[in-house]
Structure 1
């Protein structure tokens, strides 16, 4: 486990047509390089899972990789909408897109349940919303101790979870720090997992507040410098705000997006 491989080989081995795929990372450490490789390998019919889908999911949807999106919020952070997402949802371009919407707390609890080997999670939430009426993975349970009615959400176990991190050692142990979101839970919930990293080093140095994913939790590790750009990697590079603004223009127009896609697919 935690085998160190090339990114292209990792995606070819771990991500299959029809898979449920989670690319997690909150604000930073978003696995753009891995998502772009999925696009280049033309994976299709994916169920994409993410708490906060942003540009990389807009790109995957626009490239025709996705048939379904499971999420709790979607947008171009600080800019506006995801236009490829909207086009797929409204007009079925390039392929129709199904959605399953949750709250942030609901999605986080689904990962926790999956990581814990439980069939569902219990939380206080969804009260006053109509999401339970439209979402088969949201239900209610009665507390056996107090009789209180609580929300229940089905566990989620992705076929593959992909995360980006700052470091891995040569044994395949992965270290990430900063805003860590639900990467740990998403990896532990998955059947297979890939961590792309800024660097592979001989030995990991303790960092306050860092999360360690032991090699036995990760199927493969791939070195991908700047693999989170245009998001940021704490301690390595800053967020490229201009890229997020530029994407708003590119993604609004199908022809501009098609040009962007051809350029991406031509990269090696």
Structure 2
């Protein structure tokens, strides 16, 4: 059952050094505030999982939090590369990280399999792809019913999944609106989960077909207004396109990046919200 904690308390309690951590959110609802708190608490040796690593993982990798990245695409959307990720992979700064690349379809299926408690996901895919040559976790099996050759990948079962959402009610049930990625599956697949929300309300007041993550599958709920900035939260605030463009020159230079971390992460608190 969900417990209401501060973001700092939730990260301290459930994100351990060496943990496997998924921070999910697609286009909007990206949990930047939680990622910044992980950086602030100097968590180390994390295996980071995300279907589309963007700025928050660039920041976490550059801050030295990660030892491994499991992903299906990485970049600064509409701008270019993740330069802190590239620096870590290509030049070992601040240290070398391991990467394991999948397709979007494989990761979505792996999250769904993890949510169902299954050991693996089976999908049509990877036929003709070079990814199996560099990812030894992609296997092929024959369907026992049709003989069709299918791809198999391990399910994703994080130690902790972290997502952002619009609101939680006083019981800890969470409403996710707008574009939805694999937040629900990420929470269901994890041993522990932290959900940051814009506000806590008496009633969710949600309509038909709403995505509600029930309190009984959530470990901790933390109020974090602005917790997705500089991405957006549908119904609350827009995306800061300027920040995504500004990030490119900041992230290209190690000194500029460290100066940004000092000003916008280490010299702030989780209660200040994310920088935009």
Residue 166 of structure 1: aligned partner: 166
1:156 aligns to what SS in structure 2? coil
Quickly say closer, same or farther: Cα 1:30–1:209, change in 2 above 3 A: farther
The C-alpha deviation readout for 1:133-173, integer Å capped at 9, x for no partner, is 22122101110111111011111100000000001011110
Residue 97 of structure 2: aligned partner: 97
Q: Distance in 1 between matches of 2:203 and 2:247?
A: 38
2:106 aligns to what SS in structure 1? helix
Residue 18 of structure 2: aligned partner: 18
| Structure 2 gap segments, 5+ residues each | 270-276
1:162 aligns to what SS in structure 2? strand
Q: Distance in 2 between matches of 1:15 and 1:209?
A: 32
The C-alpha deviation readout for 1:60-98, integer Å capped at 9, x for no partner, is 000000000000000000111000000000000001010
Q: How does 1:1-268 map to 2 (within 5 A)?
A: 1-263=1-263, 264-268=265-269
Q: Distance in 2 between matches of 1:77 and 1:133?
A: 27
CA RMSD of aligned residues (A): 0.8
Q: Distance in 2 between matches of 1:29 and 1:226?
A: 10
Q: Distance in 1 between matches of 2:177 and 2:207?
A: 7
Report how many residues are paired. 268
8 A contact 1:54–1:82 mirrored in 2: yes
Post-superposition offset of 1:208? 4.9
Q: Distance in 1 between matches of 2:234 and 2:141?
A: 40
Q: Distance in 1 between matches of 2:131 and 2:20?
A: 21
Q: Distance in 1 between matches of 2:177 and 2:206?
A: 10
Q: TM-score, length-normalised on structure 2?
A: 0.96
Q: TM-score, length-normalised on structure 1?
A: 0.99
8 A contact 1:168–1:200 mirrored in 2: yes
Which structure 1 residue ranges, 4+ long, deviate > 6 Å from structure 2? none
2:122 aligns to what SS in structure 1? strand
Q: Distance in 1 between matches of 2:88 and 2:58?
A: 10
Q: Distance in 2 between matches of 1:142 and 1:203?
A: 49
Quickly say closer, same or farther: Cα 1:79–1:208, change in 2 above 3 A: farther
| Structure 1 gap segments, 5+ residues each | none
Post-superposition offset of 1:209? 4.3
Q: Distance in 1 between matches of 2:118 and 2:152?
A: 12
Quickly say closer, same or farther: Cα 1:55–1:209, change in 2 above 3 A: farther
